[in-house]
Structure 1
Amino acid sequence: MDDEPIWDVDRVVALTPSSAITIPETTNEFVIKGNHLTLIKGNQLDGRTKTDPHKHIHEFLRICDMFKYRDTKNEVVRLMMFPWSLTGEAKTWLDELNEGTIDTWDEL
């Protein structure tokens, strides 16, 4: 039981070819810092019942708030980085959402 996905598995879902998250347009180009990505990937949520999604989001936001990208809103960075914070069943959940399902951090 502890190794079951958080959500109900009795469903049929079609894989989507594109991301469920729509990244807002930015006025400038920027590159995600390597150490930022390393911290995010070190705090991945796997979607199992033993994991706490609220704790994951709290830690994700704490990490994201440590870095600032000039002339880029934090929401854009969060939306870009969030898929990297998921693995296993949680990543599958995100990948199975319809394209463009999520437009803002609040929706996520």
Structure 2
Amino acid sequence: MGDENPIRTLGDYSKPSHEGYKNTIELPIGNNVVPLRFDTIRLVQNGCSFYRLLSEDPNQHIKDFLKLVDSLDLDDENKERMRLHLFQFSLREHASNWLECLPAGSITT
């Protein structure tokens, strides 16, 4: 019989675990996948971050986000994929925590 509680070392506890991680945003499958660049992520983070504060308007955030991402001049097939991929980087603090609480694959558009 196997040991149900194996002995773990201190080093075992210091390793990051991805157990339980789920991606709430499901990206469409495309033939022409554009790689996500670090400078593009920073552009979104600096250009239209949303924190879920009472003074922030979520609808205005979506408008600003779409305006910024659409300025990247992608073809129609990759535009929706890039929007979905970058959206998570526009959310900060409470808004980011909200996104992580959603069921896996619940955002598809």
| TM bracket (short chain) | 0.7 to 0.9
d(CA) in 1 for partners of 2:98, 2:76: 31
Percent of residue pairs bearing the same amino acid type: 28
Q: Which runs of 4+ in 1 moved over 6 A?
A: none
1:26 corresponds to: 30
TM-score (norm 1): 0.73
Task: Summarize the alignment of residues 1-108 of structure 1 with structure 2, pairs less than 5 Å apart.
Answer: 17-42=21-46, 43-69=48-74, 72-104=77-109
After superposition, the C-alpha distances for 1:19-44 in whole angstroms (9 at most, x for unaligned) are 11100011023222444322210111
RMSD: 1.8
Unmatched runs of 5 consecutive residues or more in structure 1: 1-15
Contact 2:45 2:90 in 1 (8 A): yes
After superposition, the C-alpha distances for 1:27-65 in whole angstroms (9 at most, x for unaligned) are 023222444322210111001111111111111000011
Aligned-residue offset at 1:70:
5.1
| Higher helix residue share | 2
Unmatched runs of 5 consecutive residues or more in structure 2: 1-19
What SS does the aligned partner of 1:73 have? helix
